[in-house]
Amino acid sequence: AQSVTQPDIHITVSEGASLELRCNYSYGATPYLFWYVQSPGQGLQLLLKYFSGDTLVQGIKGFEAEFKRSQSSFNLRKPSVHWSDAAEYFCAVSGYGGSQGNLIFGKGTKLSVKP
Amino acid sequence: EAGVVQSPRYKIIEKKQPVAFWCNPISGHNTLYWYLQNLGQGPELLIRYENEEAVDDSQLPKDRFSAERLKGVDSTLKIQPAELGDSAVYLCASSRGLSNTEAFFGQGTRLTVV
């Protein structure tokens, strides 16, 4: 069965520092992978997605993610974190073909940003 | 363009009472999803609609949960009777179609059962 693991429940970084959030997936076929961000009291916003092609994917708000099939990973990165990036981040895999709405989510990583 | 609208935003009810959540998807979006998000967890799909047809409701606890999407637009998710363990955020999302179209999420309804 498909599953997504986010090993880090909570990460704190200093403003301006680089960020990497880890995501590992379990999927039998070619995965369709996503990163979402959820600010307090808000819905989920799509940051980026990977379907095929270039394994380094650029997203909104300066985020990028790299798909590594050999490691079953899809880690999210940002070179310089801003205080407004504090939120919860969810990695997800499509549970049905290429459906972008039928998603299996990880448990999330909460990001705190120190001034 | 308005996003996915959910109401109410917050709901507090006593256990054993019924409760309903409403979702208005983005105009033109044929696919609608209901997700359940427990505290400290990622969302879990409850049901997916293609127009007015529920095409995937395998994760919906049918003994107490029900959903409908009359006319293929708005949708209602109901719990009757509610239990303490139903306290969670209920998210609605919509997309234009099944494949290759981004799903947009509403802000959710936070349910507290006391």
CA A7 to mean position of chain CA atoms: 12
Q: Which residues of chain B are within 8 Å of residue A92 when distances are taken between CB atoms?
A: 42
Q: How confident is the model at residue B100 (pLDDT cuts 50, 70, 90)?
A: low
B73 min Cα distance to partner chain A (Å): 17
CA distance B18 to B83: 10
Query: What percent of chain B shows pLDDT beyond 70?
Result: 96
DSSP characters over B19-45: EEEEEE--TT--EEEEEEE-TTS--EE
**Candidates A103, A104, A110, partner chain B, best to mutate (most B CBs within 10 A):** A103
pLDDT of A43: 86
Residues B66/B47, Cβ–Cβ less than 8 Å: no
CB A11 within 8 A of CB A111: yes
Mind listing the pLDDT tens digit of every residue in chain A (115 residues)?
Answer: 789 999 999 999 999 999 999 999 998 777 889 999 999 878 899 999 998 889 999 999 999 999 999 999 999 999 999 999 999 999 999 866 656 678 899 999 999 999 9
CA distance A68 to chain B (A): 22
> With an 8 Å Cβ cutoff, are A43 and B105 in contact?
yes
Mind telling me how many Å the CA of A115 is from chain B's nearest CA? 25
Q: Which residue of A has its CA nearest to B110?
A: A41
The reply to whether B41 touches chain A by the CB within 8 Å rule is: yes
B12 Rama sector, left if φ>0, alpha if ψ -120 to 50, beta otherwise: beta
- By the CB < 8 Å criterion, does B25 face chain A? no
d(CA B84, CA B4): 27
> What mean pLDDT is reported for chain B?
93
Rounded Cα distance, A66 and B44, in Å: 24
Which positions in chain B touch A105 (Cβ < 8 Å)? 42-44
Residue B84 Cα, gap to closest chain A Cα (Å): 21
| Weakest mean pLDDT among A88-92, B47-51, B83-87 | B47-51
Q: In whole angstroms, give the CA distance from residue B103 to residue A49.
A: 12
Of B3, B4, B101, the CB nearest to A100: B101
